[in-house]
């Protein structure tokens, strides 16, 4: 936390005490006709879902409020720390209109859904205007003629100058219009009633600036009022939205934590499949989401025709059953790749991929909650036998994400998760950390991604273990961090390094195999059903509590893959079946029952 000199602190507190605020709503730019007329009409907040927890106040700045805070120069001084969670509040200058707001020490920010996609989605409330209410006839607040020197605001007809106080530079360097609004007075001298001294001041739509030229620290020669605190104290003493909470409390998260499964929902006409039974099992365990992989190659013909067929049924059934869908799109059609195999599309067909994703988002708008673009794209096996470059993947990701948002702005876009590996061989894999670095270094990543997709493989290691400080029991898959659930901590460190710490991560696959007959998965033979249950529950606890608020979702691999492997393929010991928490006859394993009992919030 920044430190003010004692003199500056007293003056700042004096200024805050002086201001008697009645909150107003932002008047520009907005469309009054788009305002919600009741709390229930306020639309859901748009992605991305972000969180940055501040122990100084016990609150997280979340979602686009956090993004606004992050993009505001000198935000700690200009806006202050968050002091509430978002909540719906009526406008006091336009009674009957409602907005989602989040309070900060020095400002109240509100969402304007009609401005989504513009710099004005988040705007500060007109606290300065309300502070000056009733003073319109005083000389400093009366409009002045155009000064013809570039300092005159044609809307409010006031000037913004650097003389005698350097308010113009401060305005320009600390957020400008979006943070302070337009000037509503000229500079003038006013007595601070708290200390009896006279200062140069200027009023703006959203703030009041006061010049303290004798302050030793030049950073604090212009002081702003703690207007958010003032309005909270005057009007919200019993509002639970202002109650501090620990960082792992559900109230500190940007959205409710997502508990999900990877499940197989296709082939409902087969005798072994029962899609509604799968969805009911999801609900019976207290989970709310399913991740379903969809192969682009199966739906999109070279002619341009798209055959939705059973995917329509999956979306319909999931919505009717109250289960949210997360679609992971993989496997380009052979006609869209250089070698005729089913990896990422070549650059000549990225537009075709974008078209496909846009049509999917348009068709399922409001019915599919999230989309993931590709899966383990650092592996050759996911790219037709040769590792794809991160540059190609980013082009695919950007095109797909923009097409999704153009057709369903509420859909969450999740980046593809590199598989955990230290291998660097163009015929096998690129290291997951190297691939993440290359993705994170591309400035477009932040622009198009709402959540960072990661995978967390545990092999035969318990979820709390980690190389080298706390290695697993062995005998194999021990001496590299790639073999541990906590590998996601390395991904988080990279995200922080690249300035992506406010982006939540979603674990879209994790789990532990049990006894199986698949070469390469022998580590599962050491894990009993009871251990599997214990480790899965513990992993969820770590993700939900210890990784809060930066972990937003966890999708277990898997729910029901044992059913087709046992009943269709006749191999109940295949590794995919061994990761499941249902047996091939649909009976629950201990892990399913443990997850059913596990508290969820």
Burial class of residue 32, CB neighbours in 10 A (0-12, 13-18, 19+):
exposed
Instruction: Please tell me the predicted confidence (pLDDT) of residue 523.
Output: 94
The pLDDT tens digits for 455-479 are: 998 999 999 999 999 999 988 899 9
**Cβ-Cβ contacts under 8 Å for 194 (sequence gap 6 or more):** 13, 14, 15, 17, 18
* Average pLDDT of the residues in 416-428: 95
pLDDT band at 343; cut points 50, 70, 90: very high
Instruction: Please tell me the predicted confidence (pLDDT) of residue 21.
Output: 30
d(CA 576, CA 582): 11
Burial pattern 292-326, b for ≥16 Cβ within 10 A else e, equals bbbebbebbeeeeebeeebbeebbebbeeeebbbb
The pLDDT tens digits for 489-526 are: 999 999 999 999 999 999 999 999 999 999 999 999 99
Residue 29, pLDDT above cutoff 60: no
Q: In terms of DSSP bridges, do strands 551-556 and 258-262 run parallel, antiparallel, or are they unpaired?
A: parallel
d(CA 277, CA 268): 10
Residue 99, pLDDT above cutoff 90: yes
Element (H, E) at 277: helix 275-284
Q: Give the lowest-confidence range in 230-234, 235-239, 468-472.
A: 230-234
Q: Do residues 538 and 545 touch, judged by C-beta distance below 8 A?
A: no
The token pair at 473 is: 């029991």
Q: Residue 514 half-sphere exposure, CB side, CA atoms within 13 Å?
A: 23
Element (H, E) at 494: helix 488-497
d(CA 264, CA 227): 53
Q: Residue 54 half-sphere exposure, CB side, CA atoms within 13 Å?
A: 18
Q: When comparing pLDDT for 244 and 4, which is higher?
A: 244
d(CA 89, CA 208): 23
d(CA 236, CA 108): 13
**Cβ-Cβ contacts under 8 Å for 152 (sequence gap 6 or more):** 144, 146, 158, 159
* Whole-number average pLDDT of the chain: 92
Instruction: Please tell me the predicted confidence (pLDDT) of residue 1.
Output: 29
User: In the chain, pLDDT over 90 holds for what percent of residues?
Assistant: 83
**Cβ-Cβ contacts under 8 Å for 599 (sequence gap 6 or more):** none
Helices marked H in 155-215 — which ranges?
Answer: 167-173, 176-180
d(CA 411, CA 361): 8
Q: Do residues 359 and 306 touch, judged by C-beta distance below 8 A?
A: yes
Instruction: Please tell me the predicted confidence (pLDDT) of residue 2.
Output: 30
pLDDT band at 24; cut points 50, 70, 90: very low
* CA distances (Å), origin 277, targets 264, 414, 566, 586: 11, 27, 17, 9
Residue 28, pLDDT above cutoff 70: no
Residue 18, pLDDT above cutoff 90: no
- Look at residues 374, 411, 412 and name the one whose alpha carbon lies nearest to residue 392: 374
* CA distances (Å), origin 153, targets 128, 158, 248: 16, 5, 46
């Amino acid at each position: 936390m920044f430190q003010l000199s004692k003199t500056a602190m007293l003056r700042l507190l004096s200024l805050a005490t002086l201001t008697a605020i009645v909150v107003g709503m932002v008047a520009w730019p907005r469309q009054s006709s788009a305002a919600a007329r009741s709390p229930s009409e306020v639309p859901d907040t748009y992605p991305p879902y972000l969180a940055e927890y501040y122990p100084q106040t016990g609150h997280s700045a979340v979602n686009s409020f956090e993004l606004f805070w992050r993009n505001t120069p000198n935000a700690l001084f200009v806006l202050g720390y968050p002091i509430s969670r978002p909540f719906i509040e009526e406008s006091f200058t336009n009674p009957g209109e409602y907005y989602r707001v989040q309070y900060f020490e020095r400002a109240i920010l509100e969402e304007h859904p009609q401005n989504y996609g513009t710099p004005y989605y988040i705007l500060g409330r007109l606290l300065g205007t309300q502070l000056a209410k009733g003073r319109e006839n005083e000389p400093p607040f009366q409009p002045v003629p155009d000064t013809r020197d570039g300092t005159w605001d044609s809307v409010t007809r006031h000037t913004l100058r650097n003389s005698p106080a350097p308010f113009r530079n401060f305005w320009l360097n600390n957020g400008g219009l979006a943070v302070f609004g337009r000037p509503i007075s000229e500079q003038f001298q006013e007595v601070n009633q708290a200390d009896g001294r006279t200062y140069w001041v200027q009023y703006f739509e959203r703030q009041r600036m006061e010049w303290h030229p004798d302050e030793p620290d030049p950073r604090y020669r212009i002081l702003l009022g703690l207007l958010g605190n003032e309005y909270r104290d005057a009007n919200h003493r019993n509002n639970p939205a202002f109650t501090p909470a620990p960082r792992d409390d559900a109230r500190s998260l940007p959205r409710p934590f997502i508990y999900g499964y990877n499940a197989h929902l296709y082939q409902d006409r087969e005798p072994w499949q029962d899609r509604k039974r799968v969805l009911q099992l999801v609900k019976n365990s207290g989970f709310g989401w399913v991740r379903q992989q969809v192969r682009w190659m199966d739906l999109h013909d070279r002619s341009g025709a798209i055959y939705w067929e059973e995917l329509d049924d999956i979306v319909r059934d999931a919505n009717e059953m109250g289960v949210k869908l997360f679609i992971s799109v993989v496997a380009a059609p052979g006609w869209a790749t250089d070698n005729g195999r089913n990896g990422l599309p070549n650059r000549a067909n990225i537009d075709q991929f974008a078209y496909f994703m846009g049509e999917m988002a348009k068709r399922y708008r409001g019915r599919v909650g999230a989309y993931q673009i590709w899966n383990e794209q650092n592996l050759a096996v996911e790219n037709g036998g040769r590792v794809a470059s991160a540059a190609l993947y980013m082009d695919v990701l950007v095109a797909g994400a923009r097409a999704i948002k153009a057709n369903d702005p509420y859909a969450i876009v999740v980046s593809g998760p590199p598989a955990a590996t230290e291998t660097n061989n163009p015929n096998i894999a690129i290291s997951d950390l190297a691939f993440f670095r290359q993705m994170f270094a591309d400035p477009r990543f932040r622009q198009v991604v709402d959540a960072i997709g990661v995978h967390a493989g545990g092999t035969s290691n318990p979820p709390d273990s980690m190389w080298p400080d706390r290695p697993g029991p062995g005998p194999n898959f021990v001496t590299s961090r790639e073999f541990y659930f906590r590998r996601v901590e390395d991904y988080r460190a990279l995200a922080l390094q690249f300035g992506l710490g406010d982006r939540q991560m979603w674990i879209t696959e994790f789990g532990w195999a049990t006894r199986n007959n698949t070469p390469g998965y022998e580590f599962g033979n050491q894990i009993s059903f009871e251990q599997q249950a214990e480790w899965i529950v513990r992993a969820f606890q770590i993700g939900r509590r210890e990784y809060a608020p930066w972990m937003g979702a966890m999708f277990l691999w898997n729910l029901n893959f044992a059913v087709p492997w046992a009943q269709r393929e006749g191999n109940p010991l295949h590794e995919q079946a061994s990761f499941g928490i249902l047996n091939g006859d649909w009976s629950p394993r201990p892990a399913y029952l443990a997850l059913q009992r596990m508290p969820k919030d």
